[in-house]
Amino acid sequence: MNNMIFLKAFIVGGLLCVIAQLLMDLTSHKVTPAHVLVGFVTGGVILSALGLYQPLVNWAGAGATVPLSGFGHLLAQGAIGGVKEKGVLGAFSGGVAATAAGITAAVVFGYLAALAFRPKG
């Protein structure tokens, strides 16, 4: 079924968030959103390097790419792809190149939103 991908995306995307919620609620350390995001991007890079993240992307689509671990996966695959193409220099260029659209969108829209709106209260 073609629509199964939506169910799979829901389950995997939801479960990744549940992992983060449990980390925040059950650990004695103060786990802030910054720690969660850093942990997920780093975890995504490492799982991707071990070849474990691509199967998840194949199975769950956006359920694996929308969470920030998917950003880490893109970084890792971009950097590895860079090495394949250009050698050592590619390790410096490939990761950011693969994630350039997301980074630029976040900076541009983030900047514009911060200018256009006032915080509530």
Partner 1 sequence: MAEVKDSQPLEIQKKEYQKMVQEIQPKPTLGRNVFWAFVVGGLISVLGQLFLNFFQARGLALPEAGAATSTVLVFLAALLTGLGVYDEIAKFAGAGSIVPITGFANSMVAPAMEYRGEGLVLGVGARLFTVAGPVLVFGIVTAWIVAILYYFFR
Window 68-97: residues binding partner 1 (CB under 8 A): 68-72, 74-76, 78-80, 82-83, 87-88, 90-92, 94-96
SS3 call for 27: coil
Gap between the Cα atoms of 2 and 25, Å rounded? 36
Gap between the Cα atoms of 84 and 71, Å rounded? 20
- Whether the Cβ atoms of residue 79 and residue 49 lie closer than 8 Å to each other: no
- Whether the Cβ atoms of residue 34 and residue 81 lie closer than 8 Å to each other: no
Least CB distance to partner 1 at residue 1 (A):
14
Q: Does residue 102 belong to the site contacting partner 1 (CB under 8 A)?
A: yes
Least CB distance to partner 1 at residue 111 (A):
6
Binding mask 23-62 for partner 1 (x = CB under 8 A): xxxx------xx-xxx-xxx-xxx-xx----------xxx
